[in-house]
Amino acid sequence: MKEPKIRIENIEDMKVIYIRFRGTYVEFRKKSRSMFNKLFEFAKNNDLVVPNVTKVITIYHDNPFITDEKNLRTSVAMTVPSGKIFEEQDDISSMTITGKFGVGQFDINAKEYGTAWEYMYNEWLFKSEYKPRDSFPFELYVTEPPKNFKDSSITEIYIPLE
């Protein structure tokens, strides 16, 4: 993994729809594709997809070093137009993401996600002048995540900052 480009970004009112999962990261990975499919179907049916604008993300609500792995909350999410009105249903909810973030852009394969997260916290955040904010970090997929261990994709990791 080569060293990422890091930038500071202020997000103002990024509205997302999401489906939350509770369980281990291994269980989450097994179910994430079907969860994303369900989310995309809902978005298409409610005219929420904007070509070349809609972004796909995974949100991590808990610290895996503190929370028991079977209680980890992870959400698949996608951005939606802020002015669109739609009705939440079943396990599909909406929320708004705001605030300052440190953003690392990585070109990584499926095996390198953990290393990228470690870099953002251990190499960048704790050695920078920034302080973490009590909010949730997330991954934003600039290109589609790799479907196998050979291919790579561009993924941005967002760390909430004070």
The pLDDT of residue 111: 86
pLDDT of residue 148: 58
Query: Which range has the worst mean pLDDT, 53-67, 110-124, 141-155?
Result: 141-155
Alpha-carbon span 152 to 155, nearest angstrom = 9
- The pLDDT-based confidence of 162 (bands split at 50, 70, 90) is very high
Task: Say how far apart CA 72 and CA 21 lie, in whole Å.
Answer: 8
Mean pLDDT of the chain: 92
CA dist., res. 75 & res. 52, Å (int):
22
For the cut 70, the answer to whether the pLDDT of residue 49 exceeds it is: yes
State the total domains in the chain: 1
CATH code of the domain in which 60 resides: 3.20.80.10
d(CA 102, CA 30): 28
The whole domain housing 114 covers: 5-161
The pTM assigned to this predicted structure is 0.92
Q: What percent of the chain is modeled with pLDDT above 90? A: 78
Which tens digits make up the pLDDT trace of 50-81? 998 999 999 999 988 889 999 999 999 999 99
